[in-house]
Amino acid sequence: MISDTLSAGLQQYRIGPKMRALRLRKKLGLVELGRHSGLSPAMLSKIERGVLFPTLPTLLRIALVFGVGLEHFFTEPAGRPRVAVVRKTDRLLLPERPGDGAPAYFFESLDFPATERKIDAFYAEFPRDAPSELHRHDGAELIYVLSGKLAVSIDDEETILAPGDAMYFDSSAPHTYRRHGRSTCAAIVVVAP
């Protein structure tokens, strides 16, 4: 069984309704489509109703019957809004660097299922009063502190942020983060490439 977030992410492609539209355009019943594709009518019905999401080989068998490519099922008409919901239970808490015994921070992607996103958003926790690895990347960054205090060092100039404080900066400048004080710090970090 797949999570609600993954299910919602797959439902946005509307694979079932697209398959049904192709089938009706060709004036095929589920039994006939089953004979052409080698798939059971019950499975095809579940796919059309969005109860079951097909694997890529299964979807390719269906696409071949209708003479379309797999992209037919994954492209959206122009003008349709893109929406991605990420449930707290579906996020993964990852360390600053893989294999780091005591990372300066942990993060969770807040927008991982969104395709063609224009920003990257993260929830970050800073459990230690130790600086993160000095890093830089193209674009801009915005930090909003939720709890605790966060020290942000940009080009060796340190700024202390408290709950409710926000900071925008050019992320091509070398920068680090660290918890300031005793309380664990939490923040939202948004990166625009």
Burial class from Cβ neighbours inside 10 Å (0-12, 13-18, 19+) for residue 147 reads middle
Cα gap 18→78, rounded to integer Å: 15
Domain boundaries, the chain: 4-74, 93-192
Q: What CATH superfamily classification does 4-74 receive?
A: lambda repressor-like DNA-binding domains (1.10.260.40)
The answer on pLDDT for 10 being more than 90 is no
The answer on pLDDT for 76 being more than 70 is no
Per-residue pLDDT, 43: 95
Task: Pull the structure tokens for residue 27.
Answer: 């004036």
Per-residue pLDDT, 81: 59
pLDDT tens for each residue of 138-191:
899 999 999 999 999 999 899 999 999 999 999 999 999 999 999 999 999 999
Mean pLDDT of 36-44: 93
Per-residue pLDDT, 115: 63
Supply the CATH classification number for the domain 93-192.
2.60.120.10
Worst-scoring range by mean pLDDT, 55-64, 67-76, 102-111, 179-188? 67-76
Task: Pull the structure tokens for residue 44.
Answer: 């095809």
pLDDT tens for each residue of 82-100:
777 888 888 888 888 777 6
The answer on pLDDT for 122 being more than 90 is yes
Cα gap 145→168, rounded to integer Å: 12
Per-residue pLDDT, 80: 56
Those residues whose C-beta lies under 8 Å from the C-beta of residue 7, and which sit 6 or more positions away, are 53
Mean pLDDT of 18-27: 88
Those residues whose C-beta lies under 8 Å from the C-beta of residue 144, and which sit 6 or more positions away, are 165, 166, 187, 188, 190
Q: How far is CA 132 from CA 31, 87, 103, in A?
A: 59, 27, 7
